Chains A and B, each alone.
Chain A
Amino acid sequence: MKKYLVMAVIALCAVACGDDDEPTPKITEDEKTIDATSYSDWTYINLETGATQVVKDYSKWYYAGDKTYAEAQAKESDITIDWHIAIHRFNVKTNKGGAVETSATALSDLTTIPSSGYTTDVEITTDSKVITDLSKMMSGNVGYASSGTLNEVLGNWVTRSGSMGAFVYTLSGKVYVVKFADGSYAKLKFTDHSNAEGTTGHVTFAYEYVK
């Protein structure tokens, strides 16, 4: 009996040690502040290298006032970096990933990565109200993105209340986990929505990217 047990342990060990030649998980820790003040732009971010690229929203913008579509000002292929997430104002999208909100409020508090509950991005429709052009706002003709994707779970990192000119922003303060198609994942925590002078659209987040 004892013999079998020893053999089983050896066998288990053999299985476990089979990964020996694979590298240990590579962890990238950083904090980034993105200038997302422009309504027309998305900032694409590679969490591994830290590279960012700003590309205009490449959908046809829908003008709600006169119900017309404008020609796209960019195309998806303009994005030249490998990206994980992208930020537009307070909107967030992932590169074919899924996100979950955890109860943790600090990156280090989150020791177990949730196994389920990940929400993938949804398609943008003109009803999504992703504003891309405010220049004709006064004539009631705001431009919206008509396609693309958006991660609604990550979008909950900040909520806005109150009325125009006196909005009050409330941060969720929660740690989000995003899993990507290649099996890598990131823990994200958004820590600020404005710069030191209070200009909104400057988004700061801390993250741990694990590959």
Chain B
Amino acid sequence: MKRTWTIIFLLLTVTMVTVFAENDHDADRRTVKGIVVDENGEPLPGASVLAVGTTIGAGTNAKGEFSIQLRDDKEQVLRISFTGYQPVEMSVNLKTKPDLSPRIQLQPAPNELNEIVVTGARIERPLKDAPVLTRIISQKDIQALNPMSIETLLQYELPGLQIVYNSMSQLPEIKYQGMEGEYLLFLIDGERVSGEGADHNVDFTRFNMDDIERVEVIRGSQSAVYGSNALGGVINIITKNAARPFTGNASIRYAGTNGQRYTVSAGTKQNKFSSLSSVTYRTRDAYTIGDSEGKATTTVDPDGTTIEEKANASTTTVYGYEIWDASQKFGYAFTDKLSADLKGTFYHNKRDIRGSNKYQDFFIDYTVSGKMKYLIDENQQLSVSYIHDTYKKDKDYFVAGFTRTDYRNRTQTARADYAGTFGSHTLSGGIEGNFEYLKHYMIKDSADASVETYSAYLQEDWKITPRLNVIASLRGDYHHVYHLHVTPKISAMYRPWETVTLRAGYSQGFRSPSLKELYQEYDMGGLGILMLYGNPDLKPETSNQYTLSAEFTKNGLNFSVSGYHNRFKNKIAYASLGDGSQDMQYVNAENAKTTGVEAILQMRMDFGLTVTGSYAYVDDYQEVNGRNTSDVRPHSITFNALYARKFGKIGTHFSLNGQWTSKLDTYSFLTSGAYQWVTYDARTMCTLNVGMTLPRGITLNCGVDNLFNFKDKASDSSLQLPQKGISLFGTLNINLADLIGL
């Protein structure tokens, strides 16, 4: 079956290249040169100039100039855009005006609504027309925080996101508004990633901040678009592309033992060809958080006596790493209609040796992916893509003198997508094959297992009136173990006034049992007393989500409030085998629900100040006998104040980011009838950044991480990854293209 699929995929690709490549008329092209400037008439390097409905595009150089080859036999529309500016479209007809040399002035956008997003429906569209509320973490947001890791970025940007520390694997886990990491689908450029860091979480260190252009976040079930794992939300990491005829960057982020990162990248964007290469080295030392006194647990016996016990003071060590990343992207437009992208990435993480361990962990990943896009006409497009992602964990036993691969996860996805707009209807659909292979030390005899999933999906986007838009989608997944699973989704968007957008949606989500959950057979602790078994009879976990949101936008003011209710069914959990032994097995046992509200306010003021604040409340219904047993902090806030101003040729910015999460009392019940609770204090962290942009592409930044020196308690590490106290960092970025004026 897998072979058949591969053959079909290859045939499709070859057909596309051979058939459609003939339609090109290279001879009828003419070069158009122009310039793009900003509101002050200064050149705007890196702006995109695209011939709408074609694969042909160009970027502007250090002087704001571009050069694009256009057909001279018909009228074409050029779309000129740049992040943070309002895009402009202009009509070009080389037949009537052959000696055109346009000068395009872009005006800053008062808000983000015209930024293009892709995550909601897998189709590019402006944020304001996205059918589901999408949060963009833009390049500007990333620069304002200047974080070392994606965990830091997400915590400062998304309220209700907790980074939990898994003390077994000593790796971070994510928890977002009451949902664990396995219910969040992490994508890189729309493709799922393989490999596992902590239990059922991705390895967050594989995301290199220097490679990230922006992050798009959607809360709620998105399985009708993305398949398994998209129960709680989708976090789509969009990587950088070459945007100029020549791009070159060298950057350093230095914080001593708290982290260092060095990146060099170079690339080009021509009419038909683009390329971007980058290499990053990053390292961070281990650190230890120690408590001066232990955690207090208060126990109340059935007779009312209250005993307060203090545990021994504890310490938690967060181990460091040494990582090499490399990535290479190529793009080529064969014709006006047909283009291809090729990408390869490599990640090599050498982890610190823990304590007196006699082995060292190495996490290694490489990916190869390709995509071909064919624009059938202005309103229809077809694409086929393939991605191969292999992730492995090696242990180097340096005393015994051998290396063993304990874990290897390989995923391959082949997909064909179609999208076409016919009047008020946009129809899209596709087929997908997903092949996953897993070798895991928790499978019997460290053996392996694999699974195939075949999917088909269809989506109808109907603009009933200019103010009302309905999207319905349906996806079928055929998994070779549990067979067919169907996922529907419907959402509507209504804009009663130009400033107000209302959205409502119902969607389902599911998560296929992982290969570990299906086939595991693991002797926990190696003592033969506790076996943990998988279960090949597992069904997928499912979720139902209901959302409502309202968004108000007027010039620089954007306010949105959204509410949701999630119901999870058939959650996979361990249960006793029931044969008198200690042994456990995965079963579809639990149901759960969450209800939440999120509000986001952003104000952009004319004098250069932008203030963003967001608040989230979540209830995960973990109340037992009137007492909260949850480990989710119910209230959280994130905020950012960014002030940017230009003094002559020197740009400056000041940015303050903060996050706050509420105090939490967690109760547990003992068999004796007593109950006890532990208090986790509220948590406030802030980061201050001051930056300067000098002429010739030099950007200097310095910052204070954890400004108010908040200290996590080591004994709270089960609730969050312990952070160090106050620290300093500095970054230097040299834009080589601007430096030499290319």
With the chains together, A129 CA to B601 CA distance in Å?
56
Given the complex, which residues of A lie within 8 Å of B357, measured CB to CB? Answer: 198
- The residue that A162 contacts in the complex, of B167, B525, B527, with Cβ under 8 A, is B167
Stretch at the interface among A25-33, A47-55, A107-115, A168-176: A168-176
With the chains together, A137 CA to B583 CA distance in Å?
11
Q: Mark A138-181, 1 if CB is under 8 A from B, else 0.
A: 11000000000000000000000111111111110000000000
With the chains together, A134 CA to B359 CA distance in Å?
26
Given the complex, which residues of B lie within 8 Å of A198, measured CB to CB? Answer: 357-359, 397
With the chains together, A166 CA to B525 CA distance in Å?
12
Given the complex, which residues of A lie within 8 Å of B359, measured CB to CB? Answer: 197-198
Tell me if B425 counts as interface (CB < 8 A to partner A). Answer: no
Q: Please classify how large the interface on chain A is, using the bins under 10, 10 to 19, 20 to 34, 35 or more.
A: 20 to 34
With the chains together, A139 CA to B576 CA distance in Å?
11
Tell me if A96 counts as interface (CB < 8 A to partner B). Answer: no
How close is A189's CB to chain B, nearest CB, in angstroms? 15
How close is B730's CB to chain A, nearest CB, in angstroms? 32
Q: Is the CB of B317 within 8 A of A162?
A: yes
With the chains together, A75 CA to B317 CA distance in Å?
43
How close is B533's CB to chain A, nearest CB, in angstroms? 14
Q: Is the CB of A194 within 8 A of B354?
A: no
Interface residues in B580-634 by Cβ distance below 8 A to A read 582, 584
Q: Is the CB of B400 within 8 A of A196?
A: yes
With the chains together, A171 CA to B358 CA distance in Å?
14
Given the complex, which residues of B lie within 8 Å of A73, measured CB to CB? Answer: none
How close is B29's CB to chain A, nearest CB, in angstroms? 63
Tell me if A116 counts as interface (CB < 8 A to partner B). Answer: no
Q: Is the CB of B400 within 8 A of A166?
A: no
Tell me if A68 counts as interface (CB < 8 A to partner B). Answer: no
With the chains together, A193 CA to B169 CA distance in Å?
21
- The residue that A166 contacts in the complex, of B167, B314, B530, B584, with Cβ under 8 A, is B167
Given the complex, which residues of A lie within 8 Å of B526, measured CB to CB? Answer: 199
How close is A30's CB to chain B, nearest CB, in angstroms? 21
Q: Is the CB of B527 within 8 A of A134?
A: yes
Given the complex, which residues of B lie within 8 Å of A197, measured CB to CB? Answer: 358-359, 397, 400
With the chains together, A194 CA to B356 CA distance in Å?
9
Q: Is the CB of A139 within 8 A of B356?
A: no
Interface of A is mostly: loop
Given the complex, which residues of B lie within 8 Å of A165, measured CB to CB? Answer: 167-169
Name the CB-closest residue of B to A198: B358
Q: Is the CB of B582 within 8 A of A136?
A: yes
Tell me if B170 counts as interface (CB < 8 A to partner A). Answer: yes
Tell me if B529 counts as interface (CB < 8 A to partner A). Answer: yes
Tell me if A135 counts as interface (CB < 8 A to partner B). Answer: yes
Given the complex, which residues of A lie within 8 Å of B356, measured CB to CB? Answer: 168-171, 193-194
Tell me if B315 counts as interface (CB < 8 A to partner A). Answer: yes
Q: Mark A179-197, 1 if CB is under 8 A from B, else 0.
A: 0000000000000011011
Name the CB-closest residue of A to B524: A138
- The residue that B354 contacts in the complex, of A39, A135, A168, with Cβ under 8 A, is A168
Given the complex, which residues of B lie within 8 Å of A39, measured CB to CB? Answer: 527
Q: Considering residues B314, B356, B397, which has the most beta carbons from chain A within 10 angstroms of its beta carbon? A: B356
With A168-B355, A169-B355, A193-B356 in contact, is A137–B530 under 8 Å at CB?
A: yes
Given the complex, which residues of A lie within 8 Å of B317, measured CB to CB? Answer: 162, 168
Given the complex, which residues of B lie within 8 Å of A170, measured CB to CB? Answer: 355-356
Given the complex, which residues of B lie within 8 Å of A164, measured CB to CB? Answer: 167-168
Q: Is the CB of A163 within 8 A of B529?
A: no
How close is A205's CB to chain B, nearest CB, in angstroms? 15
Given the complex, which residues of B lie within 8 Å of A136, measured CB to CB? Answer: 529, 582
With A138-B530, A196-B397 in contact, is A166–B168 under 8 Å at CB?
A: yes
Q: Is the CB of B167 within 8 A of A163?
A: yes
How close is B718's CB to chain A, nearest CB, in angstroms? 8
Given the complex, which residues of A lie within 8 Å of B168, measured CB to CB? Answer: 164-166
With A170-B356, A199-B526 in contact, is A138–B170 under 8 Å at CB?
A: no
With the chains together, A138 CA to B582 CA distance in Å?
6
Q: Is the CB of A137 within 8 A of B529?
A: yes
- The residue that B315 contacts in the complex, of A138, A161, A171, with Cβ under 8 A, is A161
With the chains together, A53 CA to B167 CA distance in Å?
37
Q: Mark B521-552, 1 if CB is under 8 A from A, else 0.
A: 00001110110000000000000000000000
With the chains together, A29 CA to B170 CA distance in Å?
41
With the chains together, A97 CA to B400 CA distance in Å?
36
Given the complex, which residues of B lie within 8 Å of A162, measured CB to CB? Answer: 167, 315-317, 355
Given the complex, which residues of B lie within 8 Å of A134, measured CB to CB? Answer: 525, 527, 529
Tell me if B740 counts as interface (CB < 8 A to partner A). Answer: no
Given the complex, which residues of A lie within 8 Å of B358, measured CB to CB? Answer: 194, 196-198
With the chains together, A163 CA to B166 CA distance in Å?
10
Given the complex, which residues of A lie within 8 Å of B314, measured CB to CB? Answer: 163
Interface residues of A (CB under 8 A from B): 39, 134-139, 161-171, 193-194, 196-199
Known: A163-B167, A167-B355, A169-B355. 19 other contacts (CB 8 A): A134-B527, A134-B529, A137-B530, A161-B315, A162-B316, A162-B355, A163-B314, A164-B167, A165-B168, A165-B169, A166-B167, A166-B169, A168-B355, A168-B356, A194-B356, A194-B358, A196-B397, A197-B358, A198-B358
7 A-B pairs in the complex with CB atoms less than 8 angstroms apart = A138-B584, A166-B169, A168-B317, A171-B356, A196-B397, A198-B359, A199-B526
Ranked nearest first, the 10 interchain pairs of A and B with the lowest CB-CB distance are A168-B355, A196-B400, A165-B168, A138-B582, A135-B529, A163-B167, A198-B358, A196-B399, A169-B356, A166-B167
